[in-house]
Amino acid sequence: METAGKTTEQSPSPAISALAMRYLVLAALIVIASLGFGFANENFFSLANIGILLRSISVLFIVSMAMTFVMLTGGIDLSVGSNVAFAGGVGVIALTATGSAPVGFLAAILAGMSIGLINGIFVGRMKLSAFMVTLATFALARGLALVIYDADSINVSNAIFLWLGGTSWGNVPVVIPFVVLVFAVLSVVLYRTTFGRDVYAAGANFKTAFVLGRRPERTLVWVYILSGALAGLSAIITVGRVSSGQPWAGLYLEFDAITAVILGGTSLFGGRGRLFGTILGVLLYGIIINGLVLTGTNPYLQSLIKGAILLSVVLLDSWTQRGKQR
């Protein structure tokens, strides 16, 4: 808490240059990683391949942007991956029951928001620790997904429902401009509205925000609902990509999102971070994990590498933070 307060008190220029430095390093690493995989696979730089890559990490983009909001408030949302499966299940079942894609969309997003609402009430109103509450909803949402799917996948053929995740304009999958749109909307919300200010305030100093009448408890509830809604949106994209609803969709997605957000420079303690950093973080992390999948790396080695990446980024951050404070 105090460290967050101290750094926000500093004059803006060194903070910005540190941030710019981080983005430059991330951009350089993205170039290096792409060059590496480019040498390994000569088709890597084809427009089609870049489209495929971006489409495969489109869900990670959206979930990570949601996670950025949550982590800016000093929280964490471990339930997003399970929520993607649950919201997808509700959406697909609503779709097959009514045959209407808008009803399916609405059902998926509302289902995602309801899990978010549970998180929000427990974390925001009851002030319980976010990792514990969202660990419970992580189990709950995955369980509900398994129940409503009866542990089996459901094929979807409705063209409108599949449009967002499944279609391309030439080499450009529809979902890519959509992710850009979501980024633009969320940027406006975070940087140009009082809600966005409240998100930063709740994470930087909850008590001060409370004293100033910014009602941080309510901000937290809405942040988790937003995270749930974006999980619902991700569920629609996920179903569109594979033309079916899967009970195990989004497995460990929360872990990937947390890593990408931390890579992008958002503080684990809340109050500091930007959506643009998250975009760079997702690009770098997405290229790496995609590369691991494409090169056929042993999945167990993949989880070892993922765990090591998260830990080393956190370690590096705390090390540079400490250097600055001295």
Partner 1 sequence: MTTVGKLLRERNIIFVTLACCLVFYLINPRLLSLDNLSAISRQIVPIGLIALGQFFVVVSGNIDLSMGMASVLFAIVLGVFFGMTGGVELGLLAVVASSLALGFFNGVMVAKLKLPAFIVTLSVLFMAQGLSGLIIPRGQQIFLMGGFFSYVGSETFLGIYLSFWFLVALFGLAYVVYNHTRIGTCIIAIGNSEENAKLAGINIDRVKIGIFMFSGLCSGFAGVMLSTRMGFVQPGLDGNGLLLDGIAAIIIGGTLILGGRGTIGGAFWGLLFIGLVNNALNLLNVEDVWHQVFKGLVILAALGANWILWQSREATAH
The least distance separating partner 1 from the CB of residue 207, rounded to whole angstroms, comes to 15
Instruction: Please state, in angstroms and rounded to a whole number, the distance separating the CA atoms of residues 59 and 260.
Output: 12
Instruction: Please state, in angstroms and rounded to a whole number, the distance separating the CA atoms of residues 136 and 299.
Output: 26
Joined tokens for residue 45: 């730089």
Cβ nearer to partner 1, comparing 192 with 322: 322
The least distance separating partner 1 from the CB of residue 153, rounded to whole angstroms, comes to 14
Cβ nearer to partner 1, comparing 146 with 189: 146
Q: Of 234, 256, 75, whose CA–CA distance to 141 is shortest?
A: 234
* CA dist 21 → 18, 69, 264 (Å): 5, 22, 12
Q: Of 265, 263, 272, whose CA–CA distance to 200 is shortest?
A: 272
Residues that bind partner 1 in the complex, under the rule CB under 8 A:
76, 118, 122, 126, 128-129, 131-133, 135-144, 146-147, 150-151, 255, 258, 262, 268-269, 298-308, 310-311, 314-315, 318
Cβ nearer to partner 1, comparing 43 with 325: 325
Q: Which residues contact 289 (CB under 8 A, 6 or more apart)?
A: 256, 302, 306
Cβ nearer to partner 1, comparing 193 with 312: 312
The least distance separating partner 1 from the CB of residue 3, rounded to whole angstroms, comes to 9
Cβ nearer to partner 1, comparing 62 with 141: 141
The least distance separating partner 1 from the CB of residue 256, rounded to whole angstroms, comes to 10
Instruction: Please state, in angstroms and rounded to a whole number, the distance separating the CA atoms of residues 225 and 80.
Output: 11
Query: SS3 letters for 171-219?
Result: CEECHHHHHHHHHHHHHHHHHHCHHHHHHHHHHHCHHHHHHCCCCHHHH
254 neighbors 1 (Cβ within 8 angstroms) = no
Cβ nearer to partner 1, comparing 102 with 143: 143
The least distance separating partner 1 from the CB of residue 131, rounded to whole angstroms, comes to 4
The least distance separating partner 1 from the CB of residue 269, rounded to whole angstroms, comes to 8
